[in-house]
C-alpha cells in the first residue's frame, strides 16, 4: 500500500506546470487533489516517474461569473464548490452533485478539475459537465484551447487532454428562466461510486412546454453519457404529457457499453438507471414548475 | 529519487524532515514525528482512520503527500486537547461507549471535531452523513452517534 517512488514538482503557474509536463511527456502526471490518483499509486494500479502538483497554482482557483457562464477553476476543491452561494444559484446541478462525491474528507481535498480530467464514468462532475454542455479550458505548450464537453471524454479515464496539457478551468452555461435540476444516484453504500446515476436539467416555457432538457447518465458506459432519445422525446412536449417512467426507459435504452461487474449486471444497471432517471426527471420538473 | 525538505507545523510545533515525495502525510506523522495516534487502516482512502486536520479541514492523511503539506498546519488527535485532558468530544466517546478496540477512534474524533466546528447544531442525518466516511468494525455506530449527540446538546446548554 505504498506508492512506487516518483519525483515531485510544485509549479506555481499554469505555464510552468505545462513546461514540466512538456519536458517529461507520459512519464509525468498532474496531481490535483490526489483523491483518485494517490489511491491508484498506493495500490500500484498506476506508476509515474514524476508528479506535477498543481495544488499551489493560484490561477487554478476560483469561482466567477463570466457572461452567460459560471467559470470554476480546475483546482477549486469540491468543498469550496459545496460552500459557494454563486454555484448554488448559477449552476444548481453542480451544487447538487457535489455532496454525493465521496465523503467530507475527500471533498476537502478533491478538485472539480481533477474529477473531470480523471474522467471516471461513475463520477458526478463529468456527467454534470456533459449534461450542461460545459466547455473546458485547456492549456498546452502551444497555448490555450477550449474543448466542448461533448468532445472531451474519449473513454474510461481518458480525455482529449494531451500529456503535456493541463485542464485550467471549466465553464458551465447558466440556465435561466423556469428551470429545475436534480441528481439521483443509487449506491450500495453511502459515498461509494453509484451503480447508476442520473443528472437532469429542464427548462419550461410559460406554456409549460419543455423548452430544453438535458439528461446525463453516471456509471452507464466507459464515459459519462447523454440520453439523446429521452431528451428528444421530451423537448417541445407539454410537460404534463411527458411520462417520467418513459423518459427513464428511453434514457436507459440510450446507454451503450453498459458495464457488467460484481456490483451488478448490465441488465440490472439499466433497470437502476431507468429508476434514477425517472426520479431525477420528476424532481427537476417539479422544481421548474414552481419557478 | 530526490528527497525534499518539508516543514510543517504539527499540533503547533514546527517539524522539519527530509522525505521522499511518495511519503504520505500519515507516514510522516507516524514515523517522522512519532505521533502514532493517527492510525492507518486501509492506506487508500476508504476507512477514515487516518483523518487529521490540514489547515483546519478534515482530510485523509493517507491521501495527502507530506510534500503537499509543505508550509501548512496539521492537527492530529494528539493535538486536540491542549491541557493534557480530553476534549468534550473525546470525553463523550468515552462516556457513551463510542469506542471498543479504539483503532478507528482517532479518525472519528478528528472528523467529529471538524464537523462540529463547521456546523454546531447538526441533525442526526447530518451527523450520519459526516460520519459516513469513517469505518468502525467492532462497536458499531450507535454509541458514536450518541457521543456526537451529547456533545451537541452539552454545547447548546452551555451557550444558552
Find how far residue B107's CA is from the centre of its chain: 4
> Given the C-alpha cell 518539508, which residue does it identify?
B6
Task: Tell me which residue of A140, A121, A281, A123 sits closest to A200, measured CA to CA.
Answer: A281
**For all residues of chain A together, what is the average pLDDT?**
97
B45 touches chain A (CB under 8 A): yes
Is B83 inside any structural domain? Answer: no
Contact B156, B122 (CB under 8 A): no
Is A106 in contact with B51 (Cβ distance < 8 A)? no
Judged by DSSP in three states, B143 sits in helix
Contact A134, A172 (CB under 8 A): yes
Boundaries of every domain in chain A: 7-52, 62-173, 178-290
Q: A178-290, what's its fold?
A: Enolase-like; domain 1 (3.30.390)
B159 touches chain A (CB under 8 A): no
CATH number for B104:
1.10.150.120
pLDDT at B84 (0 to 100): 86
Nearest to B20 among A5, A79, A190 (CB): A5
Residue B74 shares a structural domain with residue B10: yes
Separation in Å, CA of B44 to nearest CA in chain A: 5
Judged by DSSP in three states, B72 sits in coil
Find the closest chain A residue to B57 by CA distance.
A108
Q: Model confidence at B1, in pLDDT bands (50, 70, 90)?
A: low
Angstrom CA distances, A39 to A12, A43, A47, B37, B79, stand at 24, 6, 11, 22, 27
Is B43 in contact with A42 (Cβ distance < 8 A)? yes
Is A79 in contact with B51 (Cβ distance < 8 A)? no
Q: How many structural domains does chain B have? A: 2
B59 touches chain A (CB under 8 A): yes
Residue B74 shares a structural domain with residue B131: no
Find the closest chain B residue to A100 by CA distance.
B129
Residues of B in contact with A104 (CB under 8 A): 58, 111, 114-115, 129-130, 133
H/E element holding A282? helix A266-290
Residue B39 shares a structural domain with residue B99: no
B29 touches chain A (CB under 8 A): no
Q: What is the pTM of this model?
A: 0.96
Task: Tell me which residue of B97, B107, B93, B96 sits closest to B135, measured CA to CA.
Answer: B107
Pairing of β A158-159 and β A166-173: unpaired
pLDDT digits (tens, 9 = 90+) for A87-138: 999 999 999 999 999 999 999 999 999 999 999 999 999 999 999 999 999 9
Q: A7-52, what's its fold?
A: 3.30.43
Residues of B in contact with A102 (CB under 8 A): 133
Parent domain of B134? 88-159
pLDDT at A112 (0 to 100): 98
Q: What share of chain A has pLDDT > 90, as a percent?
A: 97
CATH number for B70:
3.10.20.30
B44 touches chain A (CB under 8 A): yes
Contact A74, A113 (CB under 8 A): yes
Please name the residues in contact with A229: beta carbons below 8 A apart, sequence gap of 6 or more.
A250, A251, A253, A254
Beta bridge partners of B51: B60
Separation in Å, CA of A137 to nearest CA in chain B: 25
pLDDT at B139 (0 to 100): 78
Amino acid at each position: 500500500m505504498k506508492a512506487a517512488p516518483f519525483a515531485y514538482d510544485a509549479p506555481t503557474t499554469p505555464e510552468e506546470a505545462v513546461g514540466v509536463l512538456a519536458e517529461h511527456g507520459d512519464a509525468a502526471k498532474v496531481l490535483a487533489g490526489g483523491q483518485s490518483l494517490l489511491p491508484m499509486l498506493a495500490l500500484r494500479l498506476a506508476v509515474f516517474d514524476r508528479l506535477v502538483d498543481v495544488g499551489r497554482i493560484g490561477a487554478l482557483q476560483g469561482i466567477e461569473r463570466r457572461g452567460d457562464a459560471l467559470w470554476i477553476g480546475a483546482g477549486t476543491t469540491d468543498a469550496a464548490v459545496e460552500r459557494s452561494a454563486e454555484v448554488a444559484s448559477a449552476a444548481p446541478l453542480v451544487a447538487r452533485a457535489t455532496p454525493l462525491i465521496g465523503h467530507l474528507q475527500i471533498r476537502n481535498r478533491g478538485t472539480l478539475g481533477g474529477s473531470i480530467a480523471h474522467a471516471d464514468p461513475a463520477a458526478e462532475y463529468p456527467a454534470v459537465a456533459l449534461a450542461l454542455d460545459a466547455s473546458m479550458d485547456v492549456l498546452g505548450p502551444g497555448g490555450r484551447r477550449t474543448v466542448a464537453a461533448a468532445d472531451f471524454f474519449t473513454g474510461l479515464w481518458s480525455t482529449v487532454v494531451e500529456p503535456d496539457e493541463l485542464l485550467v478551468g471549466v465553464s458551465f452555461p447558466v440556465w435561466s428562466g423556469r428551470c429545475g435540476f436534480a441528481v439521483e444516484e443509487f449506491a450500495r453504500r453511502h459515498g461509494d461510486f453509484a451503480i447508476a446515476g442520473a443528472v437532469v436539467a429542464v427548462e419550461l416555457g410559460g406554456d409549460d412546454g419543455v423548452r430544453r432538457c438535458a439528461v446525463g447518465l453516471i456509471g452507464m458506459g466507459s464515459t459519462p453519457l447523454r440520453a439523446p432519445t429521452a431528451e428528444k422525446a421530451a423537448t417541445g412536449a407539454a410537460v404534463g404529457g411527458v411520462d417520467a417512467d418513459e423518459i427513464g426507459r428511453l434514457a436507459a435504452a440510450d446507454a451503450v457499453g453498459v458495464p457488467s461487474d460484481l456490483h451488478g449486471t448490465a441488465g440490472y444497471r439499466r433497470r437502476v438507471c431507468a429508476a434514477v432517471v425517472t426520479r431525477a426527471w420528476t424532481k427537476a420538473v417539479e422544481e421548474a414548475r414552481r419557478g | 529519487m530526490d528527497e525534499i525538505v518539508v516543514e510543517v507545523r504539527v499540533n503547533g510545533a514546527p517539524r522539519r524532515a527530509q522525505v521522499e515525495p511518495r511519503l504520505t502525510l500519515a507516514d510522516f506523522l507516524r514515523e517522522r514525528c512519532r505521533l502514532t495516534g493517527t492510525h492507518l487502516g486501509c492506506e487508500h482512502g476508504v476507512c477514515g482512520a487516518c483523518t487529521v486536520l490540514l489547515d483546519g479541514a478534515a482530510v485523509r492523511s493517507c491521501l495527502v503527500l507530506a510534500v503537499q503539506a509543505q508550509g501548512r498546519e496539521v492537527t492530529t488527535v494528539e493535538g486536540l486537547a491542549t491541557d493534557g485532558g480530553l476534549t468534550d468530544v473525546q470525553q463523550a466517546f468515552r462516556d457513551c461507549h463510542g469506542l471498543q478496540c479504539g483503532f478507528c477512534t482517532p479518525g472519528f474524533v478528528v472528523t467529529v471535531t471538524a464537523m462540529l466546528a463547521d456546523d454546531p447544531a447538526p441533525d442526526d442525518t447530518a451527523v450520519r452523513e459526516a460520519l459516513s466516511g469513517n469505518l468502525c468494525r467492532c462497536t458499531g455506530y450507535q454509541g458514536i452517534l450518541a457521543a456526537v449527540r451529547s456533545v451537541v446538546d452539552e454545547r447548546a446548554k452551555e451557550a444558552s
